[in-house]
Amino acid sequence: MLYELNVENIALIRRMRLALEEGMNALTGETGAGKSMVIDAISLLLGARGSDMLIRQGADRAVVEGVFLPPFPAALAEMLGEDAVSDTLILSRELVRGGRSVARLNGRAVTLAQLRAAGRLLVNIHGQREHTLLMEEEEQGRLLDCYGGEDCLFALKRVRDAYQVLHEAKTRVQEYTEQRDQRVRRMDELQQIIGEIEEAAPRPDEMDALREEAHLLAHGEKLYQFAEEAHEALYCSRGAVEQLGVAATALRQVAALDMHCAALADRLNSLYYEAEDVANEIISYRDRVNIDAFRQEEVEARIALLRRLEKKYGDLLVTLAACQKEYASLEEIDESGELFRQQAELAEAEYSALSEQLHERRAAAALALSNEITHELHLLAMPGAEFQVELLPCAPSPAGTEHARFMIRTNPGESMQPVSQIASGGELSRIVLGVKVILAQLDAVPTLIFDEIDTGMSGRALVSVAERVALVSRHAQTILVTHAAVMAAAADRQILIEKHEEDGRTVISAQPLTEEERVADLARMIAGDHAGETTLQQAREMLLQMHDMIKK
């Protein structure tokens, strides 16, 4: 609740401390005494547009500060964090000439939007022509669901969860569809690369082997010629092998006569056999030397092909493996498209079924709420009024496939129209009040301000409005700006807003009234400056009667 309001240099207010309590607080005073300035200061605190015109003449800056005490709405704790709203919450707004504005929350600078968002959860101002939070269709839907109770709220939660699943499923289908053309193009590219490399059929270390073969083929004739010459030198008539054989035979004969030459004979004999073996290997090598020109062309063509592909793709075997893996992955995604569509269809069916269940609960709640508020309006001197909660279809959303709209017929024979379009200020005030009476326990906003909602009312209607405002104040702190004695008499406490002169300047002050001071102010509100003892007695009786009536 709003525990204390401090205002400095706002219009005619030089410095004001307004202490408020739970229940119903009535702000009274003569017309033009400055009650609207107090509401303007609160509006400024809650994020309303500020200007230099609001700053008191002669001052460079104006400040409004509001001290709020718990309990606070759960939504505020979600917005600011549990620690920020565990104890006292202080909102402040400073206007500096030149158009500058500074907003703070518990001493920390915040944006005007953040201040406004917090303010909307703390205070709801209902003026005669004020567009209130209650008049917004989103808020009407929220209140209907709260009125529907746990069944409705649980159904709403299931719809929200189902919508999230549906949204994710549709997103997967959309992403799959949007990327399908790109995926197909990439798969075509990969197929081309894979086909080109597979057609070439590269083997591990093939290029090294081909280079070596090409080198040998390029020198084939020379290799054949040199091998032939080496063989002839070893094995032709009187070649090295033949001569070694002659020498070995002679040395063996020497060894037969002189044992000291036996070792030499063995060595020479070994050389003979080694030379004979080398000669045989040379002739074998010579016969293997390839001097086929066609094979040389094949090898060089193969090298050229592999070089071209390597220049294009790098390591061919590595590229081939990577492309095959990527292609398999894209192919798997392509096959998942049907699965994504099936999942989306199932999610949509689940969402539709849960939305229908939510609709059934809302329809029952809408009928009950319509009847209750219609009855409440009859008590507020609108006997021909009829209130109705319409459920209008809308695009699927986390809140379902419909939205609520509060409709009203103020007189028989008229057509139903949205509550927000009501033309009569008095009617709008009573409609808002009627809704608040029913939904006060559901509305999480802890402070409600009614700014002259009694304008244009009298008699029984005025008494009814006073009773209903008092009923609302049992569930939320209520601040009432009024000129009607009946309304002020219904309040738990009364604060007099006055103008007086101070140091040659007009200033506005706020003064809590004692019981006797309340009687005197009520008498003034009844008979003006001509109030006598009879009027004072009437005021006392009114105060007692209203309190007795409200206690019932």
CA distance 6 to 251: 134
**What's phi and psi for 235, nearest 5 deg?**
-125, 0
- DSSP states of 245-274: HHHHHHHHHHHHH-GGGHHHHHHHHHHHHH
Could you confirm whether domain 2-128+422-551 is CATH 3.40.50.300? Answer: yes
Residue with tokens 């005021």: 539
Strand 24-28 versus strand 493-502 pairing type:
parallel
DSSP-derived secondary structure letter, 56 = P
CATH code 3.40.50.300 region(s) in the chain = 2-128+422-551
Rounded to two decimals, what is the model's pTM? 0.60
For position 129, what pLDDT does the model report? 43
Place of tokens 């849960």: 354
Task: Supply the pLDDT for residue 231.
Answer: 62
Query: What is the pLDDT, as a whole number, of residue 130?
Result: 44
Distances (CA, A) of 475 to 23, 495, 520: 8, 21, 29
Q: Give the C-alpha separation, 282 to 289, whole Å.
A: 11
β-pair partners for 477: 447
| pLDDT for 131 | 43
* pLDDT at site 404: 95
Closest CA to 500 of 485, 486, 511, 487: 511
- Radius of gyration of the chain from its Cα atoms, rounded to whole angstroms: 50
Residue 492's closest CA among 509, 513, 463? 513
Which structure tokens are listed for 330?
């894209």
Place of tokens 């959309």: 174
The Cα 450–Cα 440 span in angstroms is 14
Whether the bond into 396 is cis, omega within 30 of 0: no
Mean pLDDT per block of 10 residues along the chain (552 residues) reads 93 90 92 86 90 88 93 84 78 88 90 91 70 73 90 95 94 81 84 87 79 64 64 67 71 75 82 80 69 67 82 87 87 73 93 96 96 89 90 94 92 86 68 77 79 73 84 88 90 91 85 92 86 87 83 64
Query: Cα(473)–Cα(22) distance, rounded to whole angstroms?
Result: 8
Looking at residue 442, what is its pLDDT?
67
Q: Which residues pair with 92 in a beta bridge?
A: 65, 104
Half-sphere exposure of 423 (CA within 13 A, CB side): 1
CA pair distance 435, 420, nearest whole angstrom: 13
Q: Tell me the two tokens of residue 196.
A: 């080109």
Round to whole Å and give the CA distance between 213 and 215. 5
**Distance from C-alpha of 543 to C-alpha of 488, rounded to nearest angstrom:** 9
